Amino acid sequence: MPHPTIDQCKAWQALAEHAREMCDCHLSELFAGAPGRHTAFTRQAAGLTLDLSKQRWRDETLERLLDLAREAEVPGAIRGLLAGERVNRSEDRPALHTALRLPPEASLVVEGEDLVPSVHATLERMATMVERFHAGQWRGATGRAIRDVVNLGVGGSDLGPLMVTHALADYRPEGVHRIDVHFASTMDGSQLADYLARLNPETTLFVLSSKSFTTIDTLSNARTARDWLMGRLMGVNGEEGVDAELVMRQHFIGVSASPDKMHEWGIAEDHQLEFWEWVGGRYSLWGAIGLPIALMVGMQHFRELLAGAHAMDCHFSEAPLSDNLPVLLALAGIWNVNFLDIRAHSILPYDGRLEFFAAYLEQLEMESNGKSVTHDGREVGYSTCPVLWGQLGPNAQHAFYQLLHQGTQAVECDFIAPLRRYDEVEDSATRAHLKSQHRLALANCFAQSRVLMLGDEAIDDDGPRPVHKRYRGNQPSSTLLLERMTPSTLGALIALYEHKVFVQAKIWDINPFDQWGVELGKEIAGETRRILEHQADIAGMDDSTRGLIEAVWAAERS
């Protein structure tokens, strides 16, 4: 007999019943009847404040959701994750990104091995590399100090470092040789082409970041970069030219879980940083994949990022479910998706430094929980991950907020902002202006979530308004405030979302750590490429794809 699915359990049934009572209830009524709602639904941990009062729920709803978490055995799952159980069942391995941020004095013995010493040995190797760059001692093949580092990677080997380097741009260390970090991910080569047109090959180094070291996107960019370096550098030092081996050695670092493949590609052994199969790609910024972050902000700030994430891990492990930020954020999402039928989720940071946060979360959440088969191979009979997208809130106000306010889709929103900013700006007049801009952003952040909640009731109006000016409101949201944006609070924020994804996956009974759904597309792309290049027969193609391929051939002939 298969065990009952989560939607057959008592707590789920009770929630479904409760949702029938709640579905006609407007957020404005929930607020009208409950002074102190903000305090009742707000929790804090690791420098973050999470206000869940604008969710369409009551105390009773949360109680029932907590019952659901218990019935789904979330507490045991949290312990299992952190202890290194093989939670990634389809690939039969643990998911131990939390081990990457354990402090050096900790110990985590998994299947007979303490992982902490190897984690810190890698951090030490990174530190040595970063020190060489920051001392201006990492020199290119012609002897000039490296000045620009281009990360070639995609997905988890790109988005985490890209997002964090932007978020922590204020944290560059002072008094060190400056390294600028760039990111090229797209297989069409457009980002890379742009860098190649403006960077100096003598002072540019590429970090090849790929867990598998087989990803065609990254390897295509890497090959173009290698040929560019060879073409420009060989022959630079007079007749003898620069040695190809020296170019490979001084201009490439590899980061991967596959040392053999790095070796085959020609990465010098002491310029390889290895990580482990038990670190999922989209959970990997905390170790060697974070090298571009450490190069930009320095090792001290990188370690503070890890410490912030570790503080959130401790909170996740120790706080009761009813005070546990990742659990509560996850339950709000479950309530919206599975009981209120709200299947769109927008991420809206009111801080320009979080420009890439939504893109990062799109991978984290949708690649993790965009699944429809349970652990024991049954099709789920309920919705899982919502469609998640976002942009900087202030810009999105002038783009898609119209839909949030007056469209036909119900959307859950996450508003994210730091409480304090610009204290460090030296010039007092500029500081005053910038602080006032920060308050402007906060005012907009709070105003938007309020209008989304209350609709027309947000305004004192004399009479009825024309239909096209009406606001329904009742769109639920969460607001996340960071004390300030520091490496530590950013680390906590990212870890919060990682754990939220895990809790939701546990309740939905799906595996958040694999991504089989991306494989078929890769395979078919390989076959399509062979046809495009006339190395395979087009006969088996469907009519649409055949037409598109023929259009390319016609364009190439003309």
User: Do 234 and 173 form a contact (C-beta atoms < 8 A)?
Assistant: no
Residues within window 509-538 making contact with ligand F6P, judged by CB under 6 A: 515, 518
Q: Could you tell me the smallest distance in angstroms from the CB atom of residue 80 to ligand F6P? A: 22
Choosing from 367, 412, 457, 498, the catalytic residue is: 367
How far, in Å, CA of 341 to CA of 335, rounded?
8
Ordered strands of the 387-390 beta sheet: 42-45, 48-51, 477-482, 412-418, 344-349, 387-390
Query: What values do phi and psi take at 510, rounded to 5?
Result: -120, 165
| Residue 57, strand partner residues | none
Residue 499 binds ligand F6P, judged by CB under 6 A: no
Query: Least distance (Å) from ligand F6P to the CB of residue 369?
Result: 13
Residues facing 51 on adjacent strands:
42, 479
- In the complex with ligand F6P, the residue whose CB is nearer, 365 or 367, is 367
Q: Are 505 and 368 in contact (CB under 8 A)?
A: yes
If binding is defined by CB under 6 A, does position 204 make contact with ligand F6P?
A: no
What is the nearest approach in angstroms of ligand F6P to the Cβ of residue 211? 4
Q: How far is the CB of 92 from ligand F6P (least distance, A)?
A: 17
Nearer to ligand F6P, 339 or 357 (CB): 357
Binding of residue 218 to ligand F6P (CB under 6 A) = yes
The 10 Å Cβ neighbour count of residue 408 is: 6
Q: Does residue 432 interact with ligand F6P by CB under 6 A? A: no
Smallest Cα–Cα separation from 329: which of 475, 449, 483, 478?
478
Q: Please, which residue, 18 or 211, has the CB nearer to ligand F6P?
A: 211
If binding is defined by CB under 6 A, does position 137 make contact with ligand F6P?
no
**Counting contacts by CB under 6 A, is residue 397 touching ligand F6P?**
no
Q: Which of 398, 468, 534, 556 is catalytic?
A: 398
Among 97, 101, 282, 500, contact with ligand F6P (rule: CB under 6 A):
282
Break the chain down into helix, strand, coil percent, rounded to 5: 55, 10, 35
215 in contact with ligand F6P (CB under 6 A): yes
Identify the residue among 58, 211, 226, 345 touching ligand F6P (CB under 6 A).
Answer: 211
Instruction: Please answer whether residues 69 and 503 qualify as being in contact, where contact means their C-beta atoms are separated by less than 8 angstroms.
Output: yes
Which range, of 71-79, 150-158, 245-253, 425-433, touches ligand F6P by CB under 6 A?
A: 150-158
In angstroms, the CA 380 to CA 504 distance is 14
Q: In the complex with ligand F6P, which residue's Cβ is closer, 55 or 218?
A: 218
Structure tokens at 138: 């990492």
Helix (H, G, I), strand (E, B) or coil at 418: strand
Give the residue with the Cβ less far from ligand F6P, 339 or 360. Answer: 360
CB distance 405 to 471 below 8 Å: yes
455 binds ligand F6P (CB under 6 A): no
Using rule CB under 6 A, residue 221 touches ligand F6P: no
Q: How far apart are CA 58 and CA 41, in angstroms?
A: 9
CB count within 10 Å of CB 476 equals: 22
For residues 326 and 330, give the distance between their C-alpha atoms in angstroms, rounded to a whole number.
6
Identity of the amino acid at 217: D
Is residue 60 flagged as an active site residue? no
Among 88, 122, 157, 511, binds ligand F6P (CB under 6 A): 157
When the beta carbons of 41 and 213 are compared against ligand F6P, the nearer one is 213
Q: Does 254 help bind ligand F6P (rule: CB under 6 A)?
A: no
Would you count residue 369 as binding ligand F6P (CB under 6 A)? Answer: no
Task: Determine, following the binding rule CB under 6 A, whether residue 292 of this chain makes contact with ligand F6P.
Answer: no
Q: Is 134 a catalytic residue?
A: no
Is 355 assigned a catalytic role? Answer: no
Nearer to ligand F6P, 284 or 479 (CB): 284
**Furthest CA-CA distance within the chain:** 86
Residues catalogued as catalytic: 367, 398, 522
